[in-house]
Amino acid sequence: MTNLNSNAQSKVEINSDWKFRQTNIGEWLSATVPGTVHTDLLHNKIIEDPYYRTNEKDLQWIDKVNWEYKTTFNLNQSVLSKENIEIIFNGLDTYADVYLNDSKILSADNMFRTWKIDAKPWLKSGENELHIVFQSPINKGLELYEKFGLPLPANNDQSENGGLGENRVSVHTRKAGYHYGWDWGPRFATSGIWRPIEINAWNTAQIDNSYIVTQNIKNNTAQIAATATINSSTGGNYKLITKLDGKKVAENSALLDKGIQEIKSNFKIKNPKLWWPVGLGDAHLYTVTQELYLNNTLIDTKETKTGVRTAKLIQKEDADKSGRSFYFEVNGIPVFGKGANYIPNDLFLPRVTLEDYKTVINSAVEANMNMLRIWGGGIYENDEFYELCDEKGIMVWQDFMFACSMYPDTPELQESIKQEAIDNVQRLRNHPSIVLWCGNNEIEVAWSEYDHSRGWGGWRKSYPRAQQNKIWAAYETIFHDILPKVVASETEAIDYWKSSPSAGPEQVATYNTTSGDIHYWGVWHGLHPFSDFNNHVGRFMSEYGFQSFPEFSTVKKYTIPSDWDIESEVMAAHQRSGIGNLRIKQYMESHYKTPKDFESFLYVSQLLQAKAIKEALEVHRRRMPYCMGSLYWQLNDCWPVASWSSMDYYKNWKAQQYMAKKAFEPIHVSPKISDSKVEFYVVSDKLKSQKAVLKITAMDFNGNIISSTKNNINIQPNTSTMYHTAEMASLINEYEKQDLVVLSEVIIKNKIVSENITYFAEPKDLKLLKPEIIKTFSISKDGKTHLTLSSKTLVKDVFITVSGTSLKLSDNYFDLIPNTKKEIEIGNQSIDITAVEITTLFDSYSN
């Protein structure tokens, strides 16, 4: 039972003593709020772990029945006497009828909305009951589906797995699309109170909302506009004092009537500390405090953390009119976007903790990323996510929550979408990390209204023209009218991009468009060779990827030994891309020898994934500034699965994440191989030129030097430059390509800042020698354990595990150069050397 008194803070969560049950059936069971029905059933041991083996298919009944939650809370007369008492529902999933003391106060129908209800008429002194009935999202979806009467494309809605046949109902409900299944996720259409419920009691007036925006930065002075939205129940002469880090910077007076009004303030910051993307400077944050007074009495205070920065999407026509640029300019500096696409961390969203967010964001920073794209089939993330991006300097490309589907044209849905957009844009607009709002994921290119020779199968071409016009009109209303108007009205100087990918006005993005952004899936879906990443480079590569399996320790968590076969029923259930296993095998045959067993197959699949994405990342960075962004699909997982992620569900780094850390280095050496020569590029994100040495060494697998050169170079800032060309014949002399390796190094002030290892044959053709690795341990002064490895011969793809632990090492899945010591930081844990296990590519096929 939650108790409120007159001295409590203005907002108190109603988060205790909740109970739930199937509506009108059975006993009331304990519930966790925030939570979901599925996790409450799991905690009460009504169901087994939804992620274990094939349990998913036995739990599809949950989303087809109604559920109800209830709790009680106490109010004393001092709180009840306040002029205004709101109940704020920050997230109800999704169709929810809310009763307060047996009176219905709300019917919610949008998971992404914040619902504020004036609850004072229904509250009483003493005990109050809150009762919420959740209608089945599937049954309600079916009702809307049948009423609409026209099936709409929704490729990733796994309706068959949900027992609905071809009735794809997800598009009728404003709910996270991935809850209905995706090609990397299961189908669990959840219900529940997924974000906190709060009571907010206040007198006179309150600051409902605050918006702080950097209007411009000129002559070392930032012009700041601060708007406070005031909700007043008492008219009068109000005063708003604005403080920056505790120092008063503005004072404004306003005669306010009852209702909602704005007070605008303007102030300047001389020599401001700017917010920069990570790698370019500090991500400095200021605290803006707004104090509202009436007759010199402090009425309300609101604090907002934000950064001083300008951010623009630059689309400038090329000099030869062949295309337009597409890059983000922060504080007047062009920034190459380095990063990945991000999905929710779990199907059951309240299970995601602050520590989970920290792990994901810190992993992005550690992998030298500066941008994440929040994909449109998930959620508008929790505030903590964006706060961490603000603190760490991670730019955010924010999709609205629409993906791979067409949507109905009903007025009710469109009004719900408008309010959803207003809620979330207002909630998130103070975060300096957000540099773009994007209408949707892949819908424009899937429908292909601007080029009828293209489009996805089963989409536009499967409808008669009249229905095509109806469906497209709904699309235009949402993405060309409602959403851009909300962004324009609720933000200042943040750009809107109508769909990803898009080539711009009335032009469909292809793999070769020279404007806008590109999702390149020729590699993987199109079976293009990895080398084709070189042939399809756009202005901004916002999506591309390659699958792998998680490591064996993760697979063990959802399987038993009899499942340890790629084609087993359980492994198939945790591979949601229908072509997934086949694609991995097809590409693996081109690049690697057949792994000797199940565990080795998992390991080699990660090497394969890393090899594919390394090819992409390096060509994208080499093509800077023509290409100014590379965001691979995808950073993380929502459950344990074979997918395109670079970290698995348990946050273990895959080979791809370690590889990305190297490929996204601020200064990176990147060789480009052709038939007769090798070109050596150095890419720099730094804003100043730097003198360095480019060292290139060709050797055989025993470490015998074949050729070696050193070049004094001046690394140009914020671009990619070729600094050396070597003829293949002179580089390798009389050696066979499968017998040698080339080590490229950039050395600044006697320190290696980047190195790259290049082979001239596929891994399956390399004449690798049996590894004989020497291991030693040491403890540094800061108490961290270091593992040093060395070998007289080349060792390819060293994968280090420590039995019984899950560790993120400073490096892993690396090649060990002959007669060179490689030091790995393990962490603060005391490690038994006998617990360290090493797997290499040689081990994966050799018995």
How confident is the model over 303-336, as pLDDT tens digits? Answer: 999 999 999 999 999 999 999 999 999 999 999 9
Average pLDDT value for residue range 787-798: 96
Specify the pLDDT at position 829: 66
Average pLDDT value for residue range 835-846: 92
Percent of the chain with pLDDT over 90: 92
What is the rounded distance in angstroms from the CA atom of residue 240 to the CA atom of residue 252?
Answer: 5
Predicted confidence band of residue 828 (pLDDT cuts 50, 70, 90): low
What is the rounded distance in angstroms from the CA atom of residue 757 to the CA atom of residue 31?
Answer: 54
197: left (phi over 0), alpha (psi -120 to 50) or beta: beta
What is the rounded distance in angstroms from the CA atom of residue 343 to the CA atom of residue 385?
Answer: 12
404: left (phi over 0), alpha (psi -120 to 50) or beta: left
Q: Decide if 789 contacts 774 (C-beta within 8 A).
A: yes
How high does pLDDT run on average in the chain? Answer: 95
Average pLDDT value for residue range 130-150: 98
Report all structural domains of the chain as residue ranges with CATH numbers, in order of start. Answer: 2-199 (2.60.120.260), 204-306 (2.60.40.10), 665-767 (2.60.40.10), 768-847 (2.60.40.10)
* Cis upstream peptide for 94 (omega within 30°): yes
What is the rounded distance in angstroms from the CA atom of residue 104 to the CA atom of residue 497?
Answer: 40
What is the rounded distance in angstroms from the CA atom of residue 740 to the CA atom of residue 269?
Answer: 58
Q: Decide if 111 contacts 77 (C-beta within 8 A).
A: no
Residue of 48, 155, 112, 129 whose CA lies nearest to 558: 48
Specify the pLDDT at position 697: 96
Query: What are the start-end ranges of the H helices in 406-551?
Result: 411-428, 443-447, 465-477, 483-490
Assigned token pair, 103: 């009176």
702: left (phi over 0), alpha (psi -120 to 50) or beta: alpha
What is the rounded distance in angstroms from the CA atom of residue 162 to the CA atom of residue 51?
Answer: 16
What is the rounded distance in angstroms from the CA atom of residue 358 to the CA atom of residue 747?
Answer: 32
822: pLDDT strictly greater than 80: yes
Specify the pLDDT at position 759: 96
Amino acid at 737: K
- 3-state class of 349 per DSSP? helix
Specify the pLDDT at position 247: 97
Specify the pLDDT at position 8: 36
Specify the pLDDT at position 10: 65
Specify the pLDDT at position 9: 43
Which are the contacts of 465, defined by CB distance < 8 A and separation ≥ 6?
none
What is the rounded distance in angstroms from the CA atom of residue 408 to the CA atom of residue 172?
Answer: 7
Specify the pLDDT at position 847: 64
Q: What does the pLDDT look like over 431-461, one tens digit per residue?
A: 999 999 999 999 999 999 999 999 999 899 9
Average pLDDT value for residue range 564-573: 96
Predicted confidence band of residue 209 (pLDDT cuts 50, 70, 90): very high
Specify the pLDDT at position 784: 81
Question: Strand locations in 155-235, DSSP E?
Answer: 192-193, 197-202, 205-218, 221-232
Specify the pLDDT at position 808: 79
Q: What does the pLDDT look like over 576-629, one tens digit per residue?
A: 998 999 999 999 999 999 999 999 999 999 999 999 999 999 999 999 999 999
842: pLDDT strictly greater than 80: yes
Specify the pLDDT at position 5: 39
Q: What does the pLDDT look like over 21-71, one tens digit per residue?
A: 999 999 999 999 999 999 999 999 999 999 999 999 999 999 999 999 999
Q: What does the pLDDT look like over 727-767, one tens digit per residue?
A: 988 888 888 999 999 999 999 999 999 999 999 999 999 99
Residue of 316, 42, 398, 317 whose CA lies nearest to 190: 42
Residue of 62, 510, 543, 64 whose CA lies nearest to 343: 543
**Bridge pairing between strands 297-306 and 434-438:** unpaired
Specify the pLDDT at position 3: 45
Predicted confidence band of residue 682 (pLDDT cuts 50, 70, 90): very high
Q: Which long-range contacts (CB under 8 A, 24 or more apart) does 771-779 make?
A: 771/795, 771/816, 771/838, 771/840, 771/842, 771/843, 773/798, 773/816, 773/838, 775/833, 775/836, 775/838, 777/831, 777/833
What is the rounded distance in angstroms from the CA atom of residue 536 to the CA atom of residue 366?
Answer: 28
4: pLDDT strictly greater than 70: no
Question: 619 to each of 262, 480, 626, 718, 760, how far by Cα in Å?
Answer: 49, 33, 11, 16, 17
673: pLDDT strictly greater than 90: yes
Average pLDDT value for residue range 273-279: 98
Q: Decide if 381 contacts 676 (C-beta within 8 A).
A: no
